[in-house]
Structure 1
Amino acid sequence: TAGQRADCTQFEPVLEKIRVPRTGPGRPRKTPDSVAADKAYSNGPCRGYLRRRGIRHTIPEKTDSRAARQRKGSRGGRPPGFDEDRYRKRNTVERAINKLKHARAVATRYDKRGYVYLGTVTAAALAIWLRT
């Protein structure tokens, strides 16, 4: 997204493109087993989308959302489920993304077209893979 736009606006388009390959024959699944995200994706539309598609999620609740829910008392609803062990495993993915950002073209994103940027990210990922 552009620098002034929120990342959560791309939450649904990214999840729509996910394909989980099957071990045997058949088309890949379009629904992942679960999603782990940070607090930026803790809003109602993101959680509602995951609930509609039946995708389990591990997203921490924002502090202000928690305070607003508790202020409402019993009308605020129950807190969303949160598994701390699964959330800690996000660290591996975050470190991989930070390695990708060492490539200047990935970090600055001067490419105007999405498919060109995807090629840039793929080339950077290959370079990281070949180095390890």
Structure 2
Amino acid sequence: GQVGDAPQMPEVLDRVRVPTPGPGRPCTTPSRVLADKAYSSRRNRSYLRGRGIATTISQPADQVGHRLRRGSAGGRPPAFDPEIYARRNVVERCIGFLKHNRGCAMRFDKLVVQFYASVQVGCIRQWLRRLS
């Protein structure tokens, strides 16, 4: 409950498995990651760059200031496309749906395994609602 979400990004992306139609292994590398300012860190960006995943993550004002203060040693700003970033609302709506499950919203679970299970139950409930 006290761990931030941003440091967990590599662990979450390592669990991504998207089934492919027909036989074959599931896709484990997303083509792009859309995230908010909280996920803009050197660790996350270098991890994504190392896996060849395109990113659309806005930069917080303090990181922009630090880069500009360093001058030419600060490097180039990371690429950012506002039109692609606008698609992030799909994820925000999904999180809103999951928060209808009170256990996910309040984070009552003390163990990661239990929280992961409550997120899965919330996803199943949403899926069943859409079927009916």
TM-score (norm: length of structure 2):
0.87
Distance 2:125 2:27 in 1: 29
Name the % identity: 47
Question: Which residue of 1 is the match for residue 95 of structure 2?
Answer: 97
1:19 is matched by which residue type in structure 2? R
Flag the 1:21–1:130 CA change in 2: closer, same or farther, 3 A: closer
Q: 1:1-132 alignment to 2 at 5 Å? A: 2-3=1-2, 5-132=3-130
Aligned-pair CA distance for 1:69: 0.9
User: Deviations for 1:45-78, whole angstroms, at most 9, x for unmatched residues?
Assistant: 0000011111101000111111111122211111
Query: How many pairs does the alignment contain?
Result: 130
4+ long deviations beyond 6 Å: none
User: Deviations for 1:1-49, whole angstroms, at most 9, x for unmatched residues?
Assistant: x23x321121111011111322332111221111111111101000000
Distance 2:62 2:114 in 1: 38
SS of aligned partner of 1:88? helix
Distance 1:113 1:87 in 2: 32
SS of aligned partner of 1:31? coil
Aligned-pair CA distance for 1:125: 2.4
**Unaligned 5+ residue runs, structure 2?**
none
Distance 2:123 2:18 in 1: 20
Distance 1:57 1:41 in 2: 11
Distance 1:61 1:70 in 2: 12
**Unaligned 5+ residue runs, structure 1?**
none
Distance 1:12 1:29 in 2: 16
Across the aligned residues of Structure 1 and Structure 2, the Cα RMSD in angstroms comes to: 1.6
